[in-house]
Chain A
Amino acid sequence: MAAVSSFRIMTTVTKIAPEQETPRAEMQEVETKKSRTRRELNHVVSGLKPPYSSRARRVALYLGLLVAVLSVSSVVGQQFPTSFRVPFGSATEAVFEWGVDHLAWLYEPVAESLEDVLVSMQFMLVDLPAPLLALLLIGIAYARCGPLIAGLLTVALGFVISVGLWDETLQTLVLMVVAVVIAVILGILIGVAAQMNRRFEAFVLIALDAMQTFPVFAYLVPIVFIFGPGNTGALIVTIIWALPPVTRMTILGIKTVPSESIEAATSCGSTGWQILRNVQIPLARPSIMAGVNQTVMFAMSMAIVAAMIGAGGLGQSVWGSLTRLAFGQALEAGIALVLFAIVLDRVTGQGKKSTGHGLFSDFRTLVTTTGAERPALVKRAFQQHRRTILTAAVLFAGTIYISMVPALRFANFETPPESLRLSFADPVDQAVDWLNLNLGFILDVVVDGIQGYVLNGVTALLLAIPWPTVFFVVVGASLLLRGIRGAALAAAGLLGIGVLGMWEAAAITLGIAGAAVLVALFIGLPIGAVMSRSIKLERTIRPVLDVMQTLPVFLFVIPIVVVLGTGAVAGLLATVLYCLPPVIRLTNVALRGVDSETVEAATSTGATVWQLLRTVKIPLGMPTIMIGINQAIILSLAMAVVSAFIGTPGLGQALLTGVVTARLDLGIEAGVAMFLLAVVVDRLVTGVNRKIQAHSHLVPA
């Protein structure tokens, strides 16, 4: 879930343009409806003619409706009636059981070949001399990103070796590489196919949306059910999770190729295939590469989740240690994961600022060029590819050297050499104990305070509202914001949650997520605003945000649990941390992005900094800030399962119980409920977004 947010920006931004037609139509629909209700209201309060403004009338109308709903609610009751319960979970379980019994021939070959690939890759790596492998990895990092990242990788490898996690690291890397390669191939194929067929594209986009809204744990359960625990299931889960970004960015990349380039190729008489091969894919490459980068980060973020269903590797070390409350070891593996996540991000990311042409094409140019320009070209090629050439040379020499020295040829990094051995598991555990002993009471007071006065209050409030009230208010809001279809969707979603028996759990989840978002806004908006005023601050905060967004979510949890222990408050804090970066980032972007001439115009009239912010920057930046808030809300819901691990109640808890006890019915029901909740909330939030955008007059009406 690491790079989720930066990715969401893309999708949200691209979503705005093509869908503009529909919301306008919807809004018109709403408009006419509004005026109709207004007229009817006029009828009702015919005694109260004009001086009352239309706004007053509207408020009166809404209040009246609310009273009506409340009175209905008090009759119907508070809790969602259990008599409506639909045994969706057990029905699904039955279907799956039938499938496992009768359709195994269909998927088992796939599973087996995946398994084979994994195993043979692992053997290959084991056969390779470990020093050579390390050299190779560092070489790649150097050639692509230069000395800094190569240095970081060297540190990471050194760290992994000295704490004795070399084997785990290799396992994780193999799983990641296989998952990423498959996801990237599939993703690009799907993306290209979608580009060729409009209908397929629409289908793919919907499927991708669903895949990303669906909590990953929800398909963990059926996959374990089908494939059993182990590496194969973990691989499949990772592929599913990592597929959307590269697919989406392929589609986006091909779509945003300048139309003139395509027309230029067409007007030269290119066939559709030639255009795709010569123009669209090469020009979409930066976008596709960004997608690959996100896919890698998504895959990395699944390391720990994969461990939960039996995959080995670093994730297993984190997860296993966490469940044993061995924080020291969890921290060691966690640090290794973070280091590799950062290196992988850089290596697959922008890398060096090349003009995008490779060694090969430059070399070909060299070969085909003769005459006076040649020496200059040779010089340029050497300069541009200096690192690659250097790396190749070092690797070549290294290979020969390593294969000649038996001690290196058969070196094994699994058990670290005595001189390098390092472990801070024990000191960390001791520190945690000390902390709990000596500061525990203070923290306990704080935790209890938050739990007692904030969380319990919010939850109690949410549960005290009768379900029909929630239902009508949400559906009504959807009607106003998204029209009839939005309202229908909201109604279906809410009822779905109810009949799955998850009403209460959903309310708790929503309460915690909402509280977390509020806290994140409270902290994030001012930080973003301050950040936007100082380049220095931005330079400092940005990398921190980058790292925060690169981290697998579980790693947020470790330090928090260490300090606060388990419970809802720890979950809340982890959620706040998790959804803070997009708020800060987008607030900064929004305030910075305001057209400089507009700012100058305001400044030249003598506006103070605060006036500038209030009257110009915030109104103009609002749509972007809202995107950040939107992301924060979605991330906070996604965090529900993770925080369940540390004892936060709600939907996540139900889902987790399903996974841990292998109860497909419970897992499916909680998963679907989570999905519905996410969809309803997402629609409402984007609806609000659009309203704000429409009222900002920033886009032509």
Chain B
Amino acid sequence: MSKALTADEAIVSCRNLWKVYGPDPHRYVSAHNAGVGALDGHTAAVRDLTFDVRPGEKLVVMGLSGSGKSTLIRCLTRLVEPTSGEVIIGGRDVTKMEPAELRGLRRDECSMVFQHFGLFGHRTVLQNAAYGLEIKGVSRKEREQRARDVLDTVGLSGWENRYPSELSGGMKQRVGLARALASDPQILFFDEPFSALDPLIRRDLQDELLRLAKDIKKTFIFITHDMAEALKLGDRIIIMKDGQIVQVGTPEEILLHPVDDYVRRFTADASRAHIVRVGTVASESKSISVETSAFDAVKVLDDSGNDSAIIVDSHGRPLGYINRSKLLSVGHNDPVGSLHVPVPIISSDRTLHDATNLVMDGNNPVAVIDSEGRLVGVVDTRLLLAALVDLPDHRKEFADLSR
């Protein structure tokens, strides 16, 4: 789980954020804090949220519709005025900003992309993309040049002089993205930007966004109600329900350790291949040093009840694979080093998807190594399949690889 950050480590941090709709929102919050029951006739769209966003991270907020995601993201730049709590962006408390300071923040540091694009139908694509710069007072020439550049980045060059009504949905959202990027903000907010698009177009834009995120070092706060999208895009995911956080974690943590049935219902159908890392599912394997003699190696196998093992060098790096029958067919004192067959190697932070080819290529297991190249475990076909379809307790059951 993510550890708490200090205020200056985080680029955005929310402290006890509330947004209550109704006749007397403040009384609702103080009643809640005092432990008196909830007031009637109010909707608490955001309830006492606290979380941090690290610089450069892609944070996805995910939840069913009505869970308060839109309200939350709008509270961050006060498009919706929070009822209480703090929002700290770049070290400054947004909730205490004067209007002019707030506008400065919106002009220079944050941008937002909207579900229904929020384009200005009376302006050309170019003028839409240049809008933020125009507001900042950048000269026409300069802002149009910059707008052309970002339009090019999102694949819209040649469309500058069209009007939004002439574009398809996917292209409209590219304009929305260009408009957000044009002012070169530190933080980008996305409120379900792809929800209104067709699945194929949606995937294109998700890939486009991932590509962009790799090129530019910006912080993304991304809202979605689609678990697959959250898993694909997020470095970290916040799962919301009724205005509260249910779980925070990396996609893998969420997938493998859902805290409750609400989260489990989302993860049940999620595809694990691209999320779960090999290191997480690899089973421990007996490792035998190259210098060991065949006789000693058989004894090691006997003791552990295994039929096979990985041979490692003095640093623990895997060299090859060996099994009992092979050991028994040679002289007692031959060192195992000369007996092993080569073993495929995969780094533990690669995904199951990456491991599939290696595992299917040969009959033998694949050795999983850590960042220093040391053996951490092995995966084989059965283990991989079990992990992909989420069989319970597969690790225990397949602890012995060669049974």
A357 close to B122 (CB less than 8 A):
yes
Residues of A within 8 A of B107 (CB): 268-269
Whole-angstrom distance from the CB of B159 to the nearest CB of chain A?
A: 10
Whole-angstrom distance from the CB of B41 to the nearest CB of chain A?
A: 11
Whole-angstrom distance from the CB of B138 to the nearest CB of chain A?
A: 12
Residues 354-371 of A, flagged 1 when their CB comes within 8 A of B and 0 if not, give 011100000001001100
New A-B pairs, 4, CB < 8 Å, besides A270-B135, A279-B120, A357-B163: A263-B79, A263-B112, A268-B107, A283-B121
Q: What does DSSP make chain A's interface, helix, strand, loop or mixed?
A: helix
Residues of B within 8 A of A35 (CB): none
- A264–B180 Cα distance when bound, in Å, is 9
Nearest B-chain residue to A282, judged by Cβ = B122
With A263-B74, A279-B120, A285-B122 given, is the CB distance from A268 to B163 under 8 Å? no
B106 close to A268 (CB less than 8 A):
yes
A261 close to B183 (CB less than 8 A):
no
Q: Is A267 part of the binding interface, using a Cβ–Cβ cutoff of 8 Å?
A: yes
Q: How many contacting A-B pairs (Cβ < 8 A)? A: 84
Q: CB < 8 Å: which of B118, B132, B165, B166 contacts A263?
A: B118
Give the bracket for the number of chain A residues in contact with chain B: 20 to 34
Whole-angstrom distance from the CB of B190 to the nearest CB of chain A?
A: 12
Q: Is B104 part of the binding interface, using a Cβ–Cβ cutoff of 8 Å?
A: yes
B103 close to A271 (CB less than 8 A):
yes
- A373–B189 Cα distance when bound, in Å, is 33
Q: CB < 8 Å: which of B111, B114, B163, B189 contacts A260?
A: B114
Nearest B-chain residue to A366, judged by Cβ = B161
B132 close to A355 (CB less than 8 A):
no
Residues of B within 8 A of A266 (CB): 79, 106
A269 close to B106 (CB less than 8 A):
yes
| In the complex, chain B residues 195-231 whose Cβ is within 8 Å of any chain A Cβ | none
Nearest B-chain residue to A355, judged by Cβ = B163
A264 close to B179 (CB less than 8 A):
yes
Nearest A-chain residue to B144, judged by Cβ = A368
Residues 101-123 of B, flagged 1 when their CB comes within 8 A of A and 0 if not, give 00111111011101111111111
Q: Is B331 part of the binding interface, using a Cβ–Cβ cutoff of 8 Å?
A: no
Q: Is A278 part of the binding interface, using a Cβ–Cβ cutoff of 8 Å?
A: yes
Q: Is A258 part of the binding interface, using a Cβ–Cβ cutoff of 8 Å?
A: yes
Residues of B within 8 A of A270 (CB): 103, 135
Q: Is A265 part of the binding interface, using a Cβ–Cβ cutoff of 8 Å?
A: yes
With A268-B132, A368-B144 given, is the CB distance from A260 to B115 under 8 Å? yes
A369 close to B122 (CB less than 8 A):
no
A373 close to B179 (CB less than 8 A):
no
A267 close to B122 (CB less than 8 A):
no
Nearest A-chain residue to B133, judged by Cβ = A268
Q: Is A377 part of the binding interface, using a Cβ–Cβ cutoff of 8 Å?
A: yes
Q: CB < 8 Å: which of B111, B120, B124, B161 contacts A261?
A: B120
Query: Most chain-B CB neighbours within 10 Å: which of A263, A265, A266, A267?
Result: A267
Sorted nearest first, the 8 A-B pairs with minimum C-beta distance are A269-B107, A260-B118, A264-B118, A269-B106, A268-B132, A267-B112, A282-B122, A269-B103
24 A-B contact pairs sorted by A residue (CB < 8 Å): A258-B118, A260-B116, A264-B114, A264-B119, A264-B120, A264-B131, A265-B120, A265-B131, A266-B79, A267-B77, A267-B110, A268-B111, A268-B131, A269-B106, A269-B107, A269-B132, A269-B136, A270-B135, A274-B135, A282-B120, A282-B122, A356-B121, A356-B122, A365-B124
A377 close to B161 (CB less than 8 A):
yes
Residues 123-152 of B, flagged 1 when their CB comes within 8 A of A and 0 if not, give 110000001100110001000100000000
Residues of B within 8 A of A274 (CB): 135
Residues of A within 8 A of B136 (CB): 269
Residues of A within 8 A of B77 (CB): 267
B163 close to A264 (CB less than 8 A):
no
A261 close to B103 (CB less than 8 A):
no
With A269-B105, A269-B135 given, is the CB distance from A369 to B161 under 8 Å? yes
| In the complex, chain A residues 272-329 whose Cβ is within 8 Å of any chain B Cβ | 274, 278-279, 282-283, 285
